[in-house]
Structures are given as C-alpha cells and as structure tokens.
Amino acid sequence: MKRVVCFLLMAVIALPLVFSCNRAPEVPDPEAGLAPFPKPSEQVDEVPLTRSERDFVQAGNDFAWRLTRKVWETNQERKGIILSPLSVQYALGMLGNGADAQVAAKLAEVLGYEGTDAINAFCSKMIECLPAVDTSVTLALANGVLVNDKCTLKAPFKAAVEGCYDALVESMSFDNPNAVKKYVNDWCYKHTFGRITDVLEDADPLSFMYLMNAIYFNARWTNPFDKSKTKSENFKTLSGQNIKVGMMHAEIKETYYYSETESCQIMTLPYGRGKYSMTIFLPKETDGVAALLEDRGKYTYSGLSNVKLSLPSFRTDYKIDMKSLLAGMGLPLGPYDELVENADGTPEISKVLHKATITVNETGSEAAAVTVVEMRYGASGIEPPKPRDVTFTADHPFLYTITENTSGAILFTGVYTGN
C-alpha cells in the first residue's frame, strides 16, 4: 500500500468473552493459506525517536497498564486475558481527527499524548519503523475506515487517516447490515492472517462508520525451548485448584534479563535478533496479579542471572466491548462532528470492540489483535548485577507483555491464569 507523507515529515511515525486452553498448539506459519503482508525491504537498527516521542512511548505504555488494569477489574471470571493496547491507541488516534478541538484534547489526554497532530505523527513513525527493526520477526499493522456511501468524509479527516495511518478508506451501502458485518469481519480476518474472526456480531442500524486496526505478531524465541523437556505439571489457579499444564523448561546461563522485587520476579525472553521480547511478571503470591497491575510503574530490570526457568505453553483468546470501560477512563463518546459532511444526527461512539489471541510454545509466540470502533448517530537504564542462580517457576497466574525494545513500546499485555 502506498504511504502518503504527512505534514512536515512528521507523517511517518492498532473481553468479556474469554477462552483459553492449557496446551498451546504449534505456532503456525503466518504465510500459510493467505497472501503475506508486505515486509520491509531493509532492516533498521532502531526506531528513531525524538525526546518528545520517547515521552509518547512512556505515555502509551502508561495507557497500556491502565487499560489492562481496568480490563482485569471487569474480568469477573478471572480467566486469562490478552490485549493489544497499541491497537486501541491506533484506532482512537484515527478517531481523534474527527473531533473538534475540545473533544480531541480529551481523547489525547486519555491516551497520554499532546494533541492530535502529535498522535498522528508518532503513530505514523511507528507504523513505518516497528516492522523494520527485526525482519526475522513478522509484525504487521493495518488500519481501515469503512463509511456509509450516503456520507461524505470531511477532507481533513480523510487526509489524516490515509496519510498518517496508511488507512484504506472505503465506502459501501449500509442498507444491508449483514453485508457491513461481513466486510468488517473479512477485513479483520485478512489482516490477522486468519487468526481473528467474528469480531462484529451485528451492525447497528444507526451506524455510519467503522474505524479498524489490526496488529499481527509472529516470532521465534532467540533460544527456543527443548520440546523433549516439556512435561505435564501442576499449575495453581486463582481459586487454589491445581490443574495440569504443559510446562516448558530451560536452564539459561547469563542470557536473559532477570529482576526481583519484594512482590514479584521479572523475566525477559527475547525473540529473533533481540529487538522484541516477552517480559513475564510472576507474583510471589498466587493471587498477586492485581497488585502487580496497580504498581507496575515501580519495576525496573536489574540484571543478568543464571535462571532455571519453567514456563507454561498456552493459548489465550479474549474479546470485549471497551466502550464503557474507556468512557470510565475519560474517553469522550461524542460528538465527533469532523468525520463527515452530511451527518444525520450527532456522531458518537457506539462500540469499541477488541479481540485478541496469543499462542506461546517451545518455538516462539504468535499474537494478533483487532480494534473496531463503531460510530453511529445519537442524541449527543540500571547497571546489571553480577549473575546469580535463580529458579523461575511460573506455576501460578502471571502477567506478561510483548515489547519492542529499541522504542520500549508495549504491543501486547496479558494475564495467564491456567484457565
């Protein structure tokens, strides 16, 4: 897809239905059965960020932890979750271009950025650079806008989403809700290599637009686990019940970052050439996940250690409508009067659907997520210590993230509970 340059070179910068199983399937070939996403022609050493853009990364990560905490608080069944806060940021970032100054400022405040232009430029750079920092890792980001053909997009909004988010903008008749639902679901399926299906269960008769983001990640561990060492072992759930999981094992000598606080152990496992990694936050108490989410900002990585690691292989799928949750975080639901010229009412958010999946096994990890925003008409750096011998046994619920290391940006967050 042709990339359009955004303003002044800033342009180049994407529940509670839950299911998880204890034994993860093989991480599939992401290019099997579907046309592959375009891959970057060249690899870059890092995501080049200015000082203010590094502040944006921190703001985005703060949003990621606040969002994950809110989702966990609403997860009454306390089953595993998987999210892509980055996907939510992209979808809402596009939406900010359809708001007046007051609403856009409130939205930017929720995301932690300094206005719509800053969000646009930063997201554009990340779209361009994140897939290029390690070409051995498959990372794809896609954005799209579907609008009722009875509406005309306002030129500034269309220019922003096409130029800064590389979004495909298409229009179609919304007279047939089933056709609209099929388009949205097919778009999500295509841009996650078939891993995300049936995001939209029905199209609101009053809807006039869908803003969509998809993110797909597939990577092999830098040092894969030996499958012959995977054993069926106990994992203690939040209810105190012991269940059997496929527990992977490795003895790691001075290779991975490890840290420990009074409340948890922290382990970082790299993918590919080391630009991406999964970080696992293992509380010392079985029911300690909530406390970790509350205090996440206090933790830092403190060094290299010799670690005897035990980690479950698993798969988790999660789906949620985040509208009410995000509104509780301060997201304005409307009006978004700068979206279309001929709005038949007050444009407002009616749904913020998010669906994600992750598979973790001896080979590596595959994760995908989509965010679909439905619009309708309504009434209104520490020095590492010397290596030491450590046992890291993830046999009870833990928190984890997938991060791009040169920028520090969090792509996915999740909690594994064993069920």
Ordered by start, the domain boundaries in the chain are: 9-28+46-220+316-378, 227-314+383-416
Q: Give Cβ neighbours of residue 309 (< 8 Å, ≥ 6 apart).
A: 248, 249, 250, 251, 252, 267, 392
Q: What pLDDT does 155 receive?
A: 96
Q: What is the pLDDT along the chain (419 residues), one digit of tens a residue?
A: 434 334 332 332 232 333 333 444 454 444 454 554 556 767 888 999 888 889 889 999 999 999 999 999 998 888 999 999 999 999 999 999 999 999 999 999 999 887 888 889 889 999 999 999 999 999 999 999 999 999 999 999 999 999 999 999 999 999 999 999 999 999 999 999 999 999 999 998 889 999 999 999 999 999 999 999 999 999 999 988 999 999 999 998 766 678 888 888 989 999 999 999 999 999 988 888 988 888 765 555 556 678 899 999 999 999 999 999 999 999 999 999 999 987 678 899 999 999 999 999 999 999 999 999 999 987 543 344 466 788 889 999 989 999 999 999 999 999 999 87
Q: What pLDDT does 113 receive?
A: 82
Q: What pLDDT does 253 receive?
A: 78
> What distance separates the 2 farthest-apart alpha carbons in the chain?
66
Q: What pLDDT does 237 receive?
A: 93
Is the whole-model pTM more than 0.85? yes
Q: Say if residues 158 and 151 touch (Cβ distance below 8 Å).
A: no
Q: What pLDDT does 379 receive?
A: 53
| Topology (CATH) of 227-314+383-416 | Alpha-1-antitrypsin; domain 1 (2.30.39)
Token pair for 56: 């944006």
Say if domain 9-28+46-220+316-378 classifies as CATH 3.20.20.70. Answer: no
Q: Do β-strands 314-321 and 346-360 pair in parallel, antiparallel, or remain unpaired?
A: antiparallel
Alpha-carbon dihedral sign for residues 121, 123, 127, 132: positive
- Burial letters for 256-290: b for 16+ Cβ neighbours within 10 Å, e otherwise? bbbbbbeebbbbbbbbbeebbbbbbbbbeeeebbb
